[in-house]
Amino acid sequence: MRADKVTRLLDNLSEAQETLISEFIPAGARSHFLASRREALLGLRSLLDAAIDRTKEPTEAAGKKSSSSRSRGVIDISD
């Protein structure tokens, strides 16, 4: 699919979702669903942040190892 068709499709799906929600779900329930959606997104953000932090740790540890091994110097083992 071309990008403009995909964009149009997503817009139409979003509009259909909003129409269905507004017609069939009472206003009080809608506010709870929106709050629930926000909490789910915040939870997802937390998971992503933790995964990003885990990818940083090995890099930082590798940087520390390489800098400490450089300070040890070279040991000559030839006869």
Confidence (pLDDT) at 12 = 92
Length in residues, the chain: 79
Tell me how far apart the alpha carbons of residues 38 and 34 are, in angstroms, rounded to a whole number.
6
Exposure of 35 in the CB half-sphere (CA atoms within 13 A): 6
The pTM (predicted TM-score) of the whole model is 0.46
Q: Which residues of the chain have pLDDT under 70?
A: 1, 57-71, 79
Q: What is the pLDDT of residues 14-28, one digit of tens each?
A: 899 888 888 888 989
Q: Cβ distance 33 to 25 under 8 Å? A: yes
